[in-house]
Structure 1
Amino acid sequence: MFAICRDPATGEQYLETALSGHALLEHPMLNKGSAFSEAERREFGLLGLLPMSVTTPETQLARIYGNYKAKTTDLERYIHLISLQDRNETAFHRLISEHLAEMMPIIYTPVVGEACQNYSRIYRRPRGLYVSWPQRHELDAVFANVAESIAGGIDVIVATDGERILGLGDLGVGGMGIPVGKLALYTACAGIHPAATLPVILDVGTNNQSLLDDPLYVGWRHERIRGAEYDEFVEAFVVAVRKRFPRVLLQWEDFAKNNATRLLERFRDQLCSFNDDIQGTGAVAVSAALAAVAVKGERIRDQRIVMLGAGSAAMGICAQLVAAMMLEGATESQAMGNICLVDSKGLVHDQRGDLDSFKRAYAQPLTRFAGRENQCSDVISLLETVELARPQILVGTAAQAHAFNEAVVREMAAHTDRPIIFPLSNPTSKCEAHPADLIRWTGGRALVATGSPFADVHHDGRYVRIAQCNNAYVFPGVGLGVIAAQATRVTDTMFVAAARALAELSPVHADMAAPLLPSLDEVRTVARQVAVAVAEDAARSGVAPRLPREELERRIDERMWTPRYLPYRRVRPERCRG
């Protein structure tokens, strides 16, 4: 439908398309609105279809931003931005890029959670691909309807089945807001062209009774498909993806724990794929931890860690922590012994008989804790675990608001000079603690990073900036590196490389009072550095061609799209891929 070309005489980029008139105005990737030049209006049959004045992109953006600021609620701001995305993708992405720190919480966590909860009520127009169980025998036809509007096709797919959306649970087809938001961040942070992205919802029903009873619900009104039927459906989806897009990067997103790891392991060697909830979350959390221990002048291998939660995020963080400790010389058993898991039934220990394979691997010997050796039937609470383990790092992934209460935090702070505390659960309403409380309870000694964005905290005459452990620091750069390197698989070591690259960019290396992670306004620079590290690791791992660093950097830079209007040239339909 369009192609981005370069004039051999001038070296300037331009865009070729055969669309004209209303079809051009209604295509969100091509529409410039009132910014079409007079010459373009004549060439593309737009005379009379637009107001007379030719608007500069800057004026156009000022109008859009003014309308955005006039909205009175975050959900209204979300709707405004998504409506803009559906009309004019270039203006949308330029607006986001110029106000990224302000708007990221709107287009993704925490506001996207509210949008997903209200998906059927605020539904405007379809975006992405709805792969539904009742159409399981027609997946070739479903994928044939994907419009490849840009030459080169689809580079990245983000797919969810809507069962575990953030900390909000089963939202059915409303989970589509997550892939849409993630892919907007692929573009904003790493410059992946939006026309080369595809959000997907695997609609296998929902067990959320309020959705099933809602007459406005737009998804398949049926209880969730489970077991072998579910597995066969996901298998058919993967086969269809490989058939249509053999080199695509597939990101699994917000699947329930019982499916997340299983699906990742089942399909990771069949196509280029990863699970951001597991691997991306782990990488960004470990980056923050590496920065925090650098402030203390310590090593990650020497830290005792208590992890509240044992779901997908905890699995990923634990795996990355173990990898980081082993890089510093710890054995695997030593590294795993440094981590205490606490789930809904208390400390995970070796005398419990209700453990899955992940929990068994991290189960602590009860004999390690003096006075508890013969009390295996008792629940060892989070507070007791902190008393017994005396951790230097406390991480929350359980979506239990206020779980890191004053007693827990003060107990931890009594045994370490600079407690490292990461309440990572999203959205804000599920966060284990608020940074202001953590700073106050520890007398300003805590090193804090959160999963949701929080304002600076005023303490003792100064403002403490709070780092956000946002996966947007990692997954866009991983995707960019994989695509630019032409990697055939996503490996675990890529996320270790990404974590270390991000940690090296921490502002604490220049200012010990700075936040643990870079500003979100710097995330495009971060994505480039992460992409280079990932691409180099892909070559070392044998899943991508070996290229000089300069060539890798050139390919990465070439892939990073900047949202701006190009001059248009009209061509015959057969010259444009569509």
Structure 2
Amino acid sequence: MSNVSNQIRASSSLIKRFKQRMTNPAALVQCRSFTTLEGHRPTIVHKRSLDILHDPWFNKGTAFSMTERDRLDLRGLLPPNVMSSEQQIQRFMADLKRLQVQARDGPSDPNALAKWRILNRLHDRNETMYFKSIYLLCSLDYESSMLAYKHKWHFLLSVPLWRPDYCSRHTDYELSPFYGQFKVLIANIEEYAPIVYTPTVGLACQNYSGLFRRPRGMYFSAEDRGEMMSMVYNWPAEQVDMIVVTDGSRILGLGDLGVQGIGITIGKLDLYVAAAGINPQRVLPVMIDVGTNNEKLLKDPLYLGLQEHRLDGDEYIAVIDEFMEAVFTRWPHVIVQFEDFQSKWAFKLLQRYRNAYRMFNDDVQGTAGVAIAGLLGAVRAQGRPMIDFPKQKIVVAGAGSAGIGVLNAARKTMARMLGNNESAFESAGRQFWVVDAKVRNVTYWPRILIMNLLSVLTRYCKTTVIDLESLVEAPRISFAYCSSTLNFKNVHGLITEQRENIDPQALPFARKVKEASHQGLWEGASLAEVVREVKPDVLLGLSAVGGLFSKEVLEALKGSTSTRPAIFAMSNPTKNAECTPEEAFSIVGDNIIFASGSPFKDVDLGNGHIGHCNQGNNMYLFPGIGLGTLLSGSRIISDGMLQAAAECLAAYMTEEEVLKGIIYPSTSRIRDITKEVAAAVVKEAIEEDLAEGYREMDARELRKLSQEEIEEYVMNNMWSPDYPTLVYKKD
């Protein structure tokens, strides 16, 4: 009884003290806390999940402990590395100093990252205004809209850069002045290109840990094994239509950036919203952190990701399996796009999941679709019908995930045109000559000899472009190219069946030794030698090696049997492009077709003639593929749906445009392009009996729609960035 009496007296005392404090506002705050036996004072909060992350009073950011993350439903909403407040201060101070650093490929604007932060804050504060800006950008002329996708960091253009007061005033502006103000952006492209493109984008990706202020998307890590099924419920949206996921292993041309790759998934989803009209409240960027093999990040005390080497083998697969099962359990109809996975896993994961889930890999299938559309457009530009595509001789430089993806898609397209049987498939395969990177003429160099050699080269060469660290550490090197500018690169050689340790994905495209010999070629023949002997209709670059299409290679292409050879320098970013349009037109001649992965300006050929530079950008296809899959309710994303998307894009251009050498449309038409592509995907899903419908439009109703009605159905389901009327309702 004494214990009960003591409890009653204690309770009465607490009630009395509470009543006394009711008249004191400051006391109201204090009464939310109590003292534990250890002397700490936990604070009672009435928020969890994203609500507490968005509350500046209680948000700790990356300093939330793992137990706090579990208690407050934060697991997966923050990068996995728990940081102390001291480390957070170090990150902040290091970020301030980083404003003056040099970018990878040129000097940076000291204000560039400051502007980047201003733009990103708009995304944090007002998504409708943010996407309105991108939406308007996509509806303007080519030169301004092309900025929106440079290096996949188009989200940096989320606010008018010419009005730096826009964010700081926290007020809404009328949107009509945006149209006139875009003229200013176009006129000042040189000033703003470094903000939306390199070097700022390189700094933003590589220094994400320093730039991080507020989480966006979800983070799943190797530490979360066994927890992912519950973690997905920490995301507040009841419905998610589109997920873009990366493991950070191959981010753009920057390599393994670990958890810092989250920015790429954010950028891709911005385009889904801007181009395809996916509701921004129904998209989810995801980072799967399985470690990193980037030694710089492993040694960086401020890195936000797991500081351990990447998982491999069955352990890696188990993490991805658990993630896929978790997201499709909560959101059975979601579409998952895999982005920037290293080649080692890109194909394996695609084959593992594509027949079980609604997923695709943009690097493999999206790039392939855009390339196929360009290749078919090139056939039209040569004055031939698209059915002549199987007659094209194509030399491909690059056998990574993108290169093999294009090769597989092109061979399937050719085979279908030839009858879609085994002999047609074999015949189509003979139209490709694949040149990849490999080391030959290997010489072993003692470390001291390398250092002495570099000393001599640095003294007598005008410029020395050498990855010194990797060269010194490597047990062997190969001299592939040497001139006044010295580069150490891998030698690129023709793949034949004689190749040892050939990549299984490249094996179907290896030339037979006798066949190659009859053509005057051999295993490991150089790119220039292959072009010289084959005399191709198309030279396709997917190598990620800048300048690979050298003067010798382009000179060799002048011997093409085609009256209008096509050059595709598709590697990103700009510094990785195999050649520039100026080089192509000046060396090969005016009568060529040129396309690239990065945007270039058209070339003035003189006498009023223009050399058109086509940008083969994945943004022409993946938004439409995603939207079409969503609206059809297709169970999977089939090869036929991808083929329909590519052919739709190829046929989009008018005959007049194609004959001028324009094989890709202006990005100013991106919403209309996406509508057409999505409609083609919906139609193909219906024809393949994969469509199950979307919302009130069931499969039976879908089958009744005409082509025009399908396009109208797609257009009516594209979200537009307009403010809705809000009505408050008490819980």
Report if aligned partners of 2:545, 2:577 keep a CA contact under 8 Å in 1: yes
Q: How does 1:483-562 map to 2 (within 5 A)?
A: 483-510=630-657, 512-544=659-691, 545=699, 546-550=702-706, 552-562=710-720
Q: Could you say if the C-alpha distance between residues 118 and 226 of structure 1 is closer, same or farther in structure 2, counting changes exceeding 3 Å?
A: same
Query: Is 2:154 the partner of 1:107?
Result: yes
Q: Aligned-pair distance for 1:80?
A: 3.6
Q: How does 1:245-324 map to 2 (within 5 A)?
A: 245-298=331-384, 299-324=388-413
Q: Could you say if the C-alpha distance between residues 396 and 91 of structure 1 is closer, same or farther in structure 2, counting changes exceeding 3 Å?
A: same
Instruction: For 1:75 and 1:303, locate their aligned partners in 2 and report how far apart those are by CA, in whole Å.
Output: 46
Which position in structure 2 is the counterpart of 1:437? 583
TM-score by length of 2: 0.66
Query: Is 2:378 the partner of 1:340?
Result: no
Which position in structure 2 is the counterpart of 1:418? 564
Which position in structure 2 is the counterpart of 1:31? none
Q: Could you say if the C-alpha distance between residues 295 and 118 of structure 1 is closer, same or farther in structure 2, counting changes exceeding 3 Å?
A: same
Task: Find the partner of 1:463 among 587, 607, 610.
Answer: 610
Which position in structure 2 is the counterpart of 1:130? 219
Counterpart residue identity of residue 703, structure 2: L
TM-score by length of 1: 0.83
Report if aligned partners of 1:425, 1:432 keep a CA contact under 8 Å in 2: yes
Instruction: For 2:525 and 2:218, locate their aligned partners in 1 and report how far apart those are by CA, in whole Å.
Output: 46
Report if aligned partners of 1:143, 1:240 keep a CA contact under 8 Å in 2: yes
Report if aligned partners of 1:175, 1:201 keep a CA contact under 8 Å in 2: yes
Q: Aligned-pair distance for 1:507?
A: 4.5
Q: Could you say if the C-alpha distance between residues 110 and 506 of structure 1 is closer, same or farther in structure 2, counting changes exceeding 3 Å?
A: farther
Counterpart residue identity of residue 332, structure 1: F
Q: How does 1:23-42 map to 2 (within 5 A)?
A: none
Instruction: For 2:705 and 2:534, locate their aligned partners in 1 and report how far apart those are by CA, in whole Å.
Output: 44
Report if aligned partners of 2:366, 2:618 keep a CA contact under 8 Å in 1: yes
Task: Find the partner of 2:304 among 208, 218, 242.
Answer: 218
Instruction: For 2:687 and 2:116, locate their aligned partners in 1 and report how far apart those are by CA, in whole Å.
Output: 41
The more displaced of 501-510 and 338-347 is 501-510
Report if aligned partners of 1:508, 1:515 keep a CA contact under 8 Å in 2: no
Report if aligned partners of 1:394, 1:421 keep a CA contact under 8 Å in 2: yes
Which position in structure 2 is the counterpart of 1:32? none
Query: Is 2:592 the partner of 1:452?
Result: no
Counterpart residue identity of residue 96, structure 1: I
Query: Is 2:125 the partner of 1:90?
Result: no
Report if aligned partners of 2:380, 2:658 keep a CA contact under 8 Å in 1: no
Q: Aligned-pair distance for 1:371?
A: 6.2
SS in 2 for 1:137: coil
Q: Could you say if the C-alpha distance between residues 295 and 77 of structure 1 is closer, same or farther in structure 2, counting changes exceeding 3 Å?
A: farther
Instruction: For 2:225 and 2:684, locate their aligned partners in 1 and report how far apart those are by CA, in whole Å.
Output: 37
- Per-residue CA deviations over 1:504-536 (Å, capped at 9, x if unaligned) read 112454452252111001011000000010011
Q: Aligned-pair distance for 1:435?
A: 1.2
Report if aligned partners of 1:484, 1:552 keep a CA contact under 8 Å in 2: no
Report if aligned partners of 1:273, 1:489 keep a CA contact under 8 Å in 2: yes
- Per-residue CA deviations over 1:181-234 (Å, capped at 9, x if unaligned) read 100000111100111100111100100011112222111111111111111111
Unaligned regions of 5+ residues in structure 2, if any?
1-46, 56-108, 139-144, 156-195, 439-492, 692-698
Q: Aligned-pair distance for 1:84?
A: 1.6
Q: Could you say if the C-alpha distance between residues 209 and 244 of structure 1 is closer, same or farther in structure 2, counting changes exceeding 3 Å?
A: same
Q: Could you say if the C-alpha distance between residues 97 and 77 of structure 1 is closer, same or farther in structure 2, counting changes exceeding 3 Å?
A: farther
SS in 1 for 2:122: helix
Task: Find the partner of 1:358 among 482, 486, 505.
Answer: 505
Q: Aligned-pair distance for 1:348?
A: 0.8
Which one scores higher on RCO, CA 8 angstroms, separation ≥ 6? Answer: 1
Counterpart residue identity of residue 554, structure 2: V
Q: Could you say if the C-alpha distance between residues 74 and 501 of structure 1 is closer, same or farther in structure 2, counting changes exceeding 3 Å?
A: farther
SS in 1 for 2:249: coil
| RMSD of equivalent CA atoms | 2.4
Q: Could you say if the C-alpha distance between residues 508 and 421 of structure 1 is closer, same or farther in structure 2, counting changes exceeding 3 Å?
A: farther
SS in 2 for 1:549: coil
Report if aligned partners of 1:366, 1:372 keep a CA contact under 8 Å in 2: no
Counterpart residue identity of residue 342, structure 1: V
Counterpart residue identity of residue 217, structure 1: Y
Which position in structure 1 is the counterpart of 2:35? none
Q: How does 1:354-393 map to 2 (within 5 A)?
A: 354-370=501-517, 379-393=524-538
Q: Aligned-pair distance for 1:368?
A: 2.1
Report if aligned partners of 2:593, 2:661 keep a CA contact under 8 Å in 1: no
Counterpart residue identity of residue 124, structure 1: R
- Per-residue CA deviations over 1:121-143 (Å, capped at 9, x if unaligned) read 22121100100111212112321
Instruction: For 2:118 and 2:633, locate their aligned partners in 1 and report how far apart those are by CA, in whole Å.
Output: 36
Instruction: For 2:661 and 2:518, locate their aligned partners in 1 and report how far apart those are by CA, in whole Å.
Output: 41
Q: Aligned-pair distance for 1:407?
A: 1.0
Instruction: For 1:438 and 1:326, locate their aligned partners in 2 and report how far apart those are by CA, in whole Å.
Output: 31
Q: Could you say if the C-alpha distance between residues 343 and 481 of structure 1 is closer, same or farther in structure 2, counting changes exceeding 3 Å?
A: same
Report if aligned partners of 1:508, 1:516 keep a CA contact under 8 Å in 2: no
- Per-residue CA deviations over 1:343-381 (Å, capped at 9, x if unaligned) read 1131111221221222110111122234677x85x5211
Which position in structure 1 is the counterpart of 2:485? none
Query: Is 2:657 the partner of 1:564?
Result: no
Instruction: For 1:521 and 1:472, locate their aligned partners in 2 and report how far apart those are by CA, in whole Å.
Output: 12
Which position in structure 2 is the counterpart of 1:30? none
Which position in structure 1 is the counterpart of 2:470? none
Query: Is 2:246 the partner of 1:208?
Result: no
Counterpart residue identity of residue 547, structure 1: R
Q: Could you say if the C-alpha distance between residues 188 and 179 of structure 1 is closer, same or farther in structure 2, counting changes exceeding 3 Å?
A: same
Q: Aligned-pair distance for 1:114?
A: 4.6
SS in 2 for 1:333: helix
Q: Aligned-pair distance for 1:300?
A: 1.3
Instruction: For 1:239 and 1:403, locate their aligned partners in 2 and report how far apart those are by CA, in whole Å.
Output: 42
Q: Aligned-pair distance for 1:572?
A: 3.1
Report if aligned partners of 2:495, 2:524 keep a CA contact under 8 Å in 1: no
Unaligned regions of 5+ residues in structure 1, if any?
1-18, 28-70, 574-578
Q: Aligned-pair distance for 1:389?
A: 1.7
Report if aligned partners of 2:397, 2:527 keep a CA contact under 8 Å in 1: yes
- Per-residue CA deviations over 1:264-311 (Å, capped at 9, x if unaligned) read 111112211111111110011111111111011232111100111111
Report if aligned partners of 1:154, 1:196 keep a CA contact under 8 Å in 2: yes
- Per-residue CA deviations over 1:317-343 (Å, capped at 9, x if unaligned) read 112211222233261111111011111
Q: Could you say if the C-alpha distance between residues 79 and 394 of structure 1 is closer, same or farther in structure 2, counting changes exceeding 3 Å?
A: farther
Instruction: For 2:324 and 2:656, locate their aligned partners in 1 and report how far apart those are by CA, in whole Å.
Output: 43
Counterpart residue identity of residue 447, structure 1: I
Instruction: For 2:272 and 2:112, locate their aligned partners in 1 and report how far apart those are by CA, in whole Å.
Output: 22
Q: Aligned-pair distance for 1:165?
A: 1.0
Instruction: For 2:261 and 2:226, locate their aligned partners in 1 and report how far apart those are by CA, in whole Å.
Output: 23
SS in 2 for 1:477: helix
Instruction: For 1:382 and 1:96, locate their aligned partners in 2 and report how far apart those are by CA, in whole Å.
Output: 40
Report if aligned partners of 1:476, 1:527 keep a CA contact under 8 Å in 2: yes
Q: Aligned-pair distance for 1:553?
A: 3.2
Counterpart residue identity of residue 126, structure 1: P
Which position in structure 1 is the counterpart of 2:58? none
Task: Find the partner of 2:622 among 471, 475, 493.
Answer: 475
Q: Aligned-pair distance for 1:161?
A: 0.3
Report if aligned partners of 2:249, 2:340 keep a CA contact under 8 Å in 1: yes
- Per-residue CA deviations over 1:401-439 (Å, capped at 9, x if unaligned) read 100011101111222321201111111111111111111
